[in-house]
Amino acid sequence: VVAPTEADAMQRAVALASRGRGRTSPNPVVGCVVLDAAGAVAGEGFHERAGWPHAEVRALTQAGPRARGGTAVVTLEPCRHTGRTGPCTAALVAAGVRRVVVGVRDPYPPAAGGVDVLRSSGIEVEVGVGAPEAARVNEAWLTFARHRRPHLTWKYAASLDGRVAAADGTSRWITGPAARADGHRLRAESDAVMVGSGTVLADDPQLAVRDADLLGGQPLRVVVDTEARTPATARLFDSAAPTLVAVAQDAPLERIRMVESLAAVARLPRGPGGLDVAALLAELAARDVVSVLLEGGPTLAGTFLEGGFVDRVVGYTAPLLIGGGGLPVLGGAGAAGIDAAWRLQLDEVDRIGPDLRLVARPRRKES
Ligand SMILES: NC(=O)c1ccc[n+]([C@@H]2O[C@H](COP(=O)([O-])OP(=O)(O)OC[C@H]3O[C@@H](n4cnc5c(N)ncnc54)[C@H](OP(=O)(O)O)[C@@H]3O)[C@@H](O)[C@H]2O)c1
């Protein structure tokens, strides 16, 4: 058996981490591989659910005495704080590992500093191995930890000519079943699913995750509804999942009362286009929402984009032409000139059934 390199072990740790996706919130996903003193794999683990053992502890348990003198390869800096479980730094020291290889540092102050603790215990630490992949697998949580706001994915389904609805407002089944199933998977991975009042009034979506797709609990359904116009009969008031309706502090009181009788309500300040979306994101962060899937529509997406809050775009494009008065993918004021357009980096392009799936992220420097 050929011993894996530490870089290989990190790729394996990233793959392990990804198995926790959609289940660990508000914790990060973490994967760990323990190599014995000879460099052979002795243990593997990933963080499966908040409150459950951390990846390092699981990998060390599997490795047992073989961890002594070995190397722990872990996607995220081991924590040094005692949350619901003990500090991972203490577990690594107790197991007698000689070396720890870390993908990315933990930017969350109460947990950070694990690298220093390990070094002061005489353990050799290397940081940054496989960092791009280790950061990507944890992109939602890292955004949350760095900026204290949820990571936001804007998802849409459009025609080849960039329309999300026809002139009469109908938009169902632009894409095929495979793209729609993929959209459901994105929902299942998110802590919250968000739409504007326009989409609720036009489509009456239910926004729940089918049981078969559920990873953790149902995502919180969030409606951005300045004047509390969501009708009492809306499907997202059913019992399939929890719902939060964000309204203006000064929205009509009788409307707020009606909504309060059916769902949780957050009263927020007004901002450009309706509600203050930064205040909304802060409100969601306070509720431990780490990841948001914005499912529409074009007007709300325009406001989030203009605020610099869109971290990832997942666009499904169908070979279908709508033309004419069809609704464009993106609303709002838009870019006045091509120089002011939002330039994204195209990270994934896949055929999905008869449609295309594109994943793009804004080019921005990480702090
Ligand atoms: N194909 C797709 O992927 C897709 C997805 C979603 C929707 N759609 C289509 O899009 C259409 C609805 O479009 P829409 O643009 O009206 O929907 P929307 O973006 O979901 O809702 C817009 C409404 O959200 C409210 N809002 C509150 N705060 C806001 C803020 N800060 N910025 C922007 N909006 C804010 C505003 O109404 P208030 O201020 O009154 O609350 C605004 O009119 C429908 O035809 C639907 O079928 C298509």
pLDDT, tens digit, for every residue of 164-184? 999 998 888 899 999 999 999
| Active-site residue (options: 6, 44, 48, 56) | 56
> At 245, which helix (H) or strand (E)?
strand 243-248
Backbone angles phi and psi of 300, in degrees to 5: -65, -40
| Ligand 1 touching residue 225 (CB < 6 A) | yes
| Ligand 1 touching residue 277 (CB < 6 A) | yes
Radius of gyration of the chain (CA): 23
Q: Does 109 score more than 90 pLDDT?
A: no
Q: Which DSSP string do the residues of 58-90 spell out, in sequence order?
A: HHHHHHGGGGTT-EEEEEEPPP-S-SSS--HHH
Backbone angles phi and psi of 75, in degrees to 5: -65, -30
Backbone angles phi and psi of 65, in degrees to 5: -65, -15
359 or 1, higher pLDDT: 359
| Ligand 1 touching residue 226 (CB < 6 A) | yes
Counting atoms of ligand 1 from 1, which one is nearest the CA of 226?
41
Q: 199 C-alpha to center of ligand 1: Å?
A: 5
Rounded Cα–Cα distance for residues 343 and 95 (Å): 48
Query: Cα–Cα distances in Å, from 361 out to 47, 153, 267, 286, 315?
Result: 26, 9, 31, 25, 11
Q: What is the pLDDT of residue 215?
A: 78
Ligand 1 atom 28, closest CA: 274
| Ligand 1 touching residue 227 (CB < 6 A) | yes
Counting atoms of ligand 1 from 1, which one is nearest the CA of 271?
31
Q: 308 C-alpha to center of ligand 1: Å?
A: 18
Ligand 1 atom 27, closest CA: 274
Counting atoms of ligand 1 from 1, which one is nearest the CA of 316?
3
Secondary structure (3-state) at 137: helix
Ligand 1 atom 32, closest CA: 273
151 or 168, higher pLDDT: 151
Average pLDDT of the residues in 322-351: 94
Q: 78 C-alpha to center of ligand 1: Å?
A: 41
Q: 66 C-alpha to center of ligand 1: Å?
A: 57
Q: 225 C-alpha to center of ligand 1: Å?
A: 9
**Cis (ω within 30 of 0) for the bond into 65?**
no
- Confidence class for position 214, pLDDT limits 50, 70, 90: confident
6 included as an active-site residue: no
For 232, counting Cβ atoms within 10 Å of its Cβ (0-12 exposed, 13-18 middle, 19+ buried), the class is exposed
- Confidence class for position 153, pLDDT limits 50, 70, 90: very high
Average pLDDT of the residues in 277-305: 96
Instruction: Tell me the per-residue pLDDT of 224-261, one tens digit each, with 9 for 90 and over.
Output: 999 999 999 999 999 999 999 999 999 999 999 999 99
Rounded Cα–Cα distance for residues 308 and 17 (Å): 28
Rounded Cα–Cα distance for residues 284 and 279 (Å): 9
Q: What is the pLDDT of residue 238?
A: 97
Question: Letter for the amino acid at 3?
Answer: A
C-alpha 277: how far from its chain's center? 17
Q: Does 108 score more than 90 pLDDT?
A: no
By the 8 A CB rule, do 71 and 99 touch?
yes
